[in-house]
């Protein structure tokens, strides 16, 4: 069998634990900050606009004031105005008072008509709202920071989540599995990223007041940091899979399949491998019974190595591994979950050596890691 190629310990630590940890913290504080405090300066402007009050009656008319100024006018003409995004409804005012024209959403044409007397609310030099007796509509210049906050939060979550997945997959792709403790697994950090998404996305969309948002964010952030600590511990090195005995006189069906079309796997029909009471065989079902079974010439197969899937084997489950075999001189690949693949490899080694007693880990076999093993501290 081929010798495992181990990466330097520092490289494994950085790519599989340290970088995912930093991405996880960036996600928690980046998405949380955007969800709670918004996107400046749009968020500040939105809050100031919502908090603005009408100008005092005795104050001179100043449309550029921080308070709300209301000016009146009469609609003289309506027309459809084409824009790059579609159409708007343009309102022209008699005598160009309070302004020559204003654009509103095209759907508002049902609420405005020629001759309507309207009130235009101004704030900091911009027309923010227009009102008649039937309808009030915000103009297109009104800031919409909620959309920006939601999009920014989702972008932080998705980008960092995909980077963590890519680091986890690249760690495994094509790498031989060592006989010692397994490499760290940065995919454990996806759980705190998912927890961050669970509270930041609703927070960014609802935009509650700071009185509500800040305490909720503090509690949720502490929970995410706790999950991050658990992920850090889980991403450490774990012990390899321990061999498991087969029950005597019983068939055991394992989810596994060969990746090549062979006489014992014609047309890639196999979904499971059965072993135990009878010879090892490929079956297109999970039992019971050996209907349509095709016996595997286990004594003829030579185990070359066990590794993670390569980039060209994307159809292999992300948590499965691949055993490279030789059927005579023909390369054959077998894929299964780590514990199942180890058992199958052991049975093939035992059949090849002619030993009828189930051995412990065969000499030279490089067992795959146990994804469910209890992590060491």
In the block, residue with structure tokens 């209301």: 70
> Rounded distance, CA 27 to CA 43, Å?
20
Q: Do you know the residue count of the chain? A: 377
| pLDDT of 304 above 70 | yes
* pLDDT at 321 (0 to 100): 84
Q: Sheet containing 136-138: which strands, arranged edge to edge?
A: 101-105, 86-93, 69-83, 117-123, 126-131, 136-138
Please tell me which residue, 45 or 297, carries the higher pLDDT value.
Answer: 297
Which positions ≥6 away from 316 have C-beta within 8 Å? 259, 309, 322, 335
Beta-strand relationship, 136-138 and 252-258: unpaired
What would the pLDDT profile of 165-223 be if each residue is shown by its tens digit?
A: 877 766 555 555 544 444 556 678 889 999 999 999 998 888 787 888 889 999 999 99
Q: Sheet containing 321-327: which strands, arranged edge to edge?
A: 294-295, 281-283, 272-275, 252-258, 330-336, 321-327, 301-307
In the block, residue with structure tokens 């609420």: 111
In the block, residue with structure tokens 């197969």: 301
Question: Average pLDDT in the 35-48 region?
Answer: 74
Strand partners, 253: 274
| pLDDT of 118 above 50 | yes
* pLDDT at 156 (0 to 100): 92
| pLDDT of 143 above 60 | no
Strand partners, 102: 91
Question: pLDDT over 90 for what percent of the chain?
Answer: 32
24 near 160, Cβ under 8 Å? yes
28 near 223, Cβ under 8 Å? no
* pLDDT at 85 (0 to 100): 64
Please tell me which residue, 349 or 149, carries the higher pLDDT value.
Answer: 349
End-to-end CA distance of the chain: 32
DSSP 21-41: HHHHHHHHHHHHHHHHH-STT
Please tell me which residue, 133 or 186, carries the higher pLDDT value.
Answer: 133
Please tell me which residue, 311 or 137, carries the higher pLDDT value.
Answer: 137
Q: With cut-offs at 50, 70 and 90, classify the pLDDT of residue 240.
A: low
* pLDDT at 137 (0 to 100): 87
3 state DSSP class of 256: strand
DSSP 66-119: SSBEEEEEEEEEEEEEEETTEEEEEEEEGGG-S-SEEEEEGGGGGT--TT-EEE
> Rounded distance, CA 338 to CA 308, Å?
10
């Amino acid at each position: 069998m081929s010798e495992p190629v181990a990466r330097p310990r520092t490289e494994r630590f950085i790519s599989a634990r340290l970088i995912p940890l930093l991405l996880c913290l960036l996600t928690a504080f980046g998405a949380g900050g955007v969800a709670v405090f918004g996107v400046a300066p749009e968020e500040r402007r939105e809050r100031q606009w919502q908090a603005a009050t009408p100008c005092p009656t005795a104050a001179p008319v100043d449309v550029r004031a921080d308070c709300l100024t209301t000016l009146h006018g009469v609609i003289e003409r309506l027309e459809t105005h084409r824009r790059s995004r579609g159409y708007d409804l343009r309102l022209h005012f008699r005598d160009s008072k309070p302004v020559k024209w204003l654009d509103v959403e095209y759907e508002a044409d049902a609420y405005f008509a020629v001759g309507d007397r309207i009130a235009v609310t101004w704030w900091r030099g911009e027309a923010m709202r227009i009102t008649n007796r039937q309808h009030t509509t915000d103009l297109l210049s009104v800031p919409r920071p909620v959309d920006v906050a939601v999009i920014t939060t989702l972008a932080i979550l998705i980008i960092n989540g995909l980077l963590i997945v890519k680091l986890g997959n690249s760690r495994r792709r094509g790498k031989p599995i060592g006989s010692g403790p397994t490499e760290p697994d940065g995919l454990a950090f996806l759980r705190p990223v998912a927890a961050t998404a669970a509270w930041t996305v609703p927070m960014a969309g609802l935009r509650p007041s700071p009185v509500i948002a800040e305490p909720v964010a503090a509690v949720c952030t502490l929970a995410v940091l706790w999950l991050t600590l658990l992920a850090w511990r889980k991403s450490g090195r774990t012990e390899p899979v321990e061999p498991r005995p087969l029950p005597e006189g019983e068939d055991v069906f394992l989810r596994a399949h060969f990746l090549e079309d062979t006489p014992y796997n014609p047309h890639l029909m196999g979904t499971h491998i059965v072993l135990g009471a009878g010879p090892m065989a490929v079956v297109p079902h999970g039992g019971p019974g050996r209907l349509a079974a095709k016996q595997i010439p286990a004594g003829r197969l030579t185990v070359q190595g066990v590794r993670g899937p390569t980039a060209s084997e994307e159809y292999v489950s992300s948590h499965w591994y691949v055993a490279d075999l030789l059927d005579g001189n023909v390369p054959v690949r077998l894929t299964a979950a780590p514990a199942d693949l180890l058992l199958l490899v052991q049975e093939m080694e035992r059949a090849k050596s002619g030993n009828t007693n189930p051995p412990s880990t065969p000499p030279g076999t490089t067992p795959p890691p146990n994804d469910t093993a209890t992590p060491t501290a």
